[in-house]
């Protein structure tokens, strides 16, 4: 077992030494603390032997019990507090010159050292730079030796100053929130002190006065969040002898309401004229035109990378996107700047792998074959690009072959696709013929029909693509697709057309149709991006390699934009919403046009389309509209689903004046996973049945004020046009 031998505290830098010592059944031992702690003008020093006695105003001593209660285990031998009539310096007793400081680096985590090794003497040391928080830190040590013996211990370390100015506020704000923020002066010296206390909000001074106090002084200041993307608070104290302390804190400000985007995307592939009209109330219009498809697809990859959630599908989709971006950047002779992101995504997929080698929707979700297929495909792409990948192909192949014997007929196509991806030489002809026999005479979807055709083709069975070509459809722009543009997870025009592309590409001799399919996919970026991360990654990996391989070179086409001739690309322009937009294109080269408005709807109304969402609060089992500070509150969100939905996401903003009482995961009922953010909780349900469902978040109201509560929303994660939301609300917090 291991224990702390010594901990020397110098401001917020800590050399920590570990040595082996016997510890029985979890007891820990703290040594090397034979001397009291010394503080000179609020700053920790090694000793006070170098201080001129003429400069000392007072000396006080706190006994072990009292000192330990305030300062933690480091004060087991008491604390000596010295007040001088001038600032301490490096020449006086080795006191830290950083005793006077404005603290601004705050974090809940101080250090993480996972790879420490003891030397021959059995000791190891390191320097830890603590954040600026004046708080109690718990330092935990876990050790293991070559014989498999292990142990752990912990030490409570309090970072503190004898005299300090501390600021307290919510971790974020919503524009328009009325908040009562707090400043707190703390004095552990035991004697009355006089200081000049100042408080500034967004660089405007609100308080500046001399105050006298013995133990503590509290300032409560009302402010309104407005005008910026962050709020800045500065709270300080200063003594006549020059000692000062304080904090500068910044918190993010989120918009009131919801961000909405309206717009158009068109791939102008031949001579044509398009006309756009815009909503005057939605503000300025941004127009962009590209003469190359690569900036458009790189923009898609950027949006894919920046998507905020990280289920296993999304991690794999981001990984696929970044691997493709790396190839495109090389093709364009441009730098690739996201190597670290690739490594982090690979680590995350490794951590979320199930024991048998498959993946579910989230880390602890049941195994899903289509998600496993997506992840394995991304990992194999990474391995082919030279990255080290945690994937035991033989183990997974053996497991999947066993699963084929006992699986449901519904799962077998996905298992076979996964086996084929793991081993391109895998022949599952017998299984494919069995699937075809099972489907014979049954009414099947177009997706099942195309999936079977692809499986047969990959198993070496000859397929007739004429039936496939006879079922293609055309858009008004002459682009081709299969199926219907609906919200069915598999049997929709995107998934069907992706399968058709692969079948025709493998069959060979269909370059014109493949080009029309590629243009169809580009045509579907109507809102400036494809509709979900999964489809985005699949489309990108389908069309990008062929685009780079084709190496087509065009002379840039020309555009006429509201009478202005454009021959240089990329082209950017801003318009007022009152202006109609007409774009005429001439020339052989394609031009890709985006025109959109992005705006904040500050007063979104309740919308009950596919889901009805209702938000309420309870304290002590009673419904309330105003929350009592310091008393646990339950935020309840009722979601009524109009019909059964797959992969449903519920986003629940919380009031800025509350913090989380706990961050539990629900491992029963309809929930698959929760993500907790400062400003909201997101809940994910693999399937949400028709009817009413209630989701509860436990909060602790902490800061008095009146807060805007942005609307809770429920949506199909992969088809977000199907949604419902609550309206704007206000929540009061008081005593």
The full DSSP string for 382-417 is HHHTT------HHHHHHHHHHHHHHS-TTTHHHHHH
The pLDDT tens digits of the residues spanning 105-122 come to 878 788 888 888 888 888
The per-residue pLDDT for range 147-172, each reduced to its tens digit, is 888 888 887 777 778 899 999 999 99
Region at 417 (left for phi over 0; alpha for psi -120 to 50; beta for the rest): alpha
Q: How do beta strands 705-709 and 713-716 pair?
A: unpaired
Q: Where are the domains of the chain?
A: 2-158, 163-254, 264-291+556-599, 292-391, 392-463, 470-540, 602-734
Say which DSSP state 637 is in.
E
Q: How far apart are CA 368 and CA 348, in angstroms?
A: 17
CATH architecture of 264-291+556-599: Sandwich (2.60)
The CATH code of the domain at 602-734 is 2.60.40.690
Helix (H) or strand (E) holding 26: none
Q: Which residue has the tokens 């498959």?
A: 358
> How far is residue 139's CA from residue 110's CA, in Å, rounded to a whole number?
9
- C-alpha gyration radius of the chain: 32
pLDDT at 469 over 60: yes
Beta bridge partners of 197: 209, 237
For the chain, the helix, strand and coil percentages under 3-state DSSP, each to the nearest 5: 25, 35, 40
Structure tokens at 447: 């997706």
Helix (H), strand (E) at residue 227: none
Architecture per CATH, 163-254: Sandwich (2.60)
Q: What is the pLDDT confidence band of residue 17, given thresholds at 50, 70 and 90? A: very low
Give the predicted TM-score (pTM) of the model: 0.79
Q: How many CA atoms lie within 13 A of 637 on its CB side?
A: 29
In terms of DSSP bridges, do strands 713-716 and 719-725 run parallel, antiparallel, or are they unpaired?
A: antiparallel
Percent of the chain with pLDDT over 90: 60
Tell me whether the CATH fold assigned to 163-254 matches the one assigned to 602-734: yes
The set of residues, in sequence order, having a beta carbon less than 8 Å from that of 712 and lying 6+ positions away, is 613, 615, 637, 650, 651, 652, 653, 725, 726
Q: What is the pLDDT of residue 723?
A: 94
How far is residue 23's CA from residue 73's CA, in Å, rounded to a whole number?
A: 18
pLDDT in tens, 671-713: 999 999 999 999 999 999 999 999 999 999 999 999 999 999 9
Q: What is the pLDDT of residues 497-544, one digit of tens each?
A: 999 999 999 999 999 999 999 989 988 887 788 999 999 999 999 999
Give pLDDT, residue 83: 77
């Amino acid at each position: 077992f291991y224990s702390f031998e010594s901990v020397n505290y110098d401001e917020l830098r800590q050399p920590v030494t570990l040595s082996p010592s016997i510890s029985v059944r979890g007891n820990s031992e703290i040594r090397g603390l034979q001397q009291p702690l010394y503080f000179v003008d609020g700053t920790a020093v090694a000793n006070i032997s170098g201080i001129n006695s003429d400069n000392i105003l007072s000396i006080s001593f706190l006994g072990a019990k009292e000192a330990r209660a305030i300062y933690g285990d480091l004060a087991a031998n008491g604390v000596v507090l010295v007040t001088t009539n001038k600032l301490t310096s490096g020449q006086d007793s080795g006191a830290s010159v950083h005793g006077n400081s404005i603290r601004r680096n705050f974090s809940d985590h101080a250090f993480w050292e996972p790879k420490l090794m003891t030397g021959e003497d059995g000791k190891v040391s390191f320097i830890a730079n603590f954040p600026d928080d004046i708080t109690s830190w718990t330092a935990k040590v876990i050790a293991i030796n070559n014989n498999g013996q292990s142990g752990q211990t912990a030490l409570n370390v309090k970072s503190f100053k004898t005299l300090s100015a501390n600021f307290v506020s919510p971790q974020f704000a919503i524009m328009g929130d009325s908040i009562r923020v707090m400043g707190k002066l703390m004095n552990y010296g035991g004697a009355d002190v006089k200081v000049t206390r100042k408080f500034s909000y967004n660089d405007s001074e609100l308080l500046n006065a001399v105050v006298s106090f013995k133990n503590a002084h509290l300032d409560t200041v009302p402010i309104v969040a407005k005008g910026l993307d962050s709020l800045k608070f500065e709270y300080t104290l200063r003594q006549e002898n020059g000692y000062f302390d304080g904090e500068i804190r910044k918190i993010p400000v989120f918009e009131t309401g919801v961000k909405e985007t309206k717009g158009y995307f068109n791939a102008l592939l031949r001579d044509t004229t398009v006309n756009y009209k815009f909503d005057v109330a939605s503000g300025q219009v941004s127009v962009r035109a590209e003469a190359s498809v690569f900036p458009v697809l790189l923009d898609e990859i950027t949006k894919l990378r920046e998507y905020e959630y990280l289920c296993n599908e999304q991690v794999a989709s981001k990984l696929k996107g970044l691997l493709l971006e790396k190839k495109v950047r090389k093709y364009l002779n441009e730098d690739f700047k996201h190597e670290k992101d690739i490594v982090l995504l690979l680590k995350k997929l490794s951590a979320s792998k199930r024991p048998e080698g498959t993946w579910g929707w989230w880390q602890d979700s049941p195994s899903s074959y289509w998600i496993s297929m997506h992840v394995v495909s991304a990992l194999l792409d990474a391995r082919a690009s030279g990255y080290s990948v945690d994937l035991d192909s033989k183990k997974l192949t053996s497991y999947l072959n066993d699963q084929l014997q006992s699986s449901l007929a519904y799962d077998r196509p996905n298992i076979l696709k996964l086996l084929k991806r793991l081993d391109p030489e895998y022949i599952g002809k017998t299984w494919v013929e069995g699937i075809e026999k099972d489907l014979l005479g049954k009414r099947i979807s177009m997706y099942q029909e195309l999936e079977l055709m692809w499986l047969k083709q990959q198993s070496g069975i000859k397929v007739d693509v004429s039936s496939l070509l006879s079922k293609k459809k055309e858009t008004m722009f002459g682009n081709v697709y299969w199926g219907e543009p609906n919200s069915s997870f598999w049997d929709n025009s995107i998934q069907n057309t992706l399968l058709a592309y692969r079948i025709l590409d493998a069959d060979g001799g269909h370059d014109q149709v493949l080009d029309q399919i590629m243009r169809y996919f580009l045509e579907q970026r109507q809102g400036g991006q494809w509709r979900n991360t999964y489809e985005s990654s699949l489309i990108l990996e389908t069309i990008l390699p062929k685009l780079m391989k084709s190496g087509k070179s065009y002379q840039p086409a020309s555009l006429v934009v509201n009478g202005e001739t454009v021959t240089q690309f990329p082209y950017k322009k801003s318009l007022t919403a009152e202006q109609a937009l007409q774009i005429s294109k001439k020339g052989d080269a394609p031009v890709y046009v985006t025109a959109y408005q992005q705006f904040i709807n500050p007063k979104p109304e309740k919308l009950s389309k596919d889901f009805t969402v209702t938000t309420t609060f309870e304290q002590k089992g009673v419904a309330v509209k105003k929350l009592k500070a310091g008393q646990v509150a339950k935020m309840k969100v009722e979601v009524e689903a109009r019909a059964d939905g797959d992969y449903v996401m519920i986003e629940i903003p919380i009031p800025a004046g509350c913090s989380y009482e706990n961050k539990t995961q629900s491992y029963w009922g309809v929930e698959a996973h929760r993500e907790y953010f400062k400003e909201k909780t997101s809940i994910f349900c693999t399937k949400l049945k028709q009817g009413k469902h209630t989701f509860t978040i436990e909060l602790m109201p902490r800061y008095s004020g009146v807060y805007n509560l942005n609307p809770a929303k429920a949506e199909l994660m992969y088809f977000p046009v199907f949604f419902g939301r609550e309206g704007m609300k206000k929540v009061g917090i008081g005593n």
